[in-house]
Structure 1
Amino acid sequence: MNYTKEQLIKIDSNLLSVNIKAKEVLKVIRDGSEISNKDISEETNLSKFVIDKCIAAFVGCGLITTIADGTTKYYRITEEGEKILNINREGK
């Protein structure tokens, strides 16, 4: 996916509807290397339910990719996910 700046701003705004800490979850995924749901939970202190909601939104928007090794799912941020995390630094 290749979002415009306006689309990224709207997605950024919509992430608040998922959870106020959604971008914190995305930052943890960015900072980890192929991080698992359990690792995200430990880093953010959020429940599995909240993390699953955030991850579903991120995957749906193309902000992260899912990697499955047969027993565990890992997550990696995409270029679009990086853009979302940088959108506030650039200004709206």
Structure 2
Amino acid sequence: MLFVTGRGTPIDRRIEYFHWDKALLRIGIVNGEDGVRLRPHSARHTADALFANAGVPERARLALMGHSDGAMDNVYLHADTEALLKASEGATGALRLPD
């Protein structure tokens, strides 16, 4: 549970999604327009990836994400496009024949 009412009870999921979609619209994203529905939980994956790419140490990332060990963190981290491009460029360079 991430958000609660003033009385400490969980916010109804419909209210949560209403505000989530409204926030996405403010940044120019129409949720579900391309057939993919972003969920509030998607933001956790994005945040963890941004922390990792910014060089935030694993111990700090685990604390920020509320994870007790790196196993759960691995579920959240995905190889970003830039890292994949660097890896493929490195592999291409290694396979090049000398002139």
Q: Specify if TM > 0.5.
A: no
| Structure that is richer in strand per residue | 1
TM-score interval for Structure 1 and Structure 2 normalised by the shorter chain: 0.3 to 0.5
Q: Which has the larger radius of gyration?
A: 2
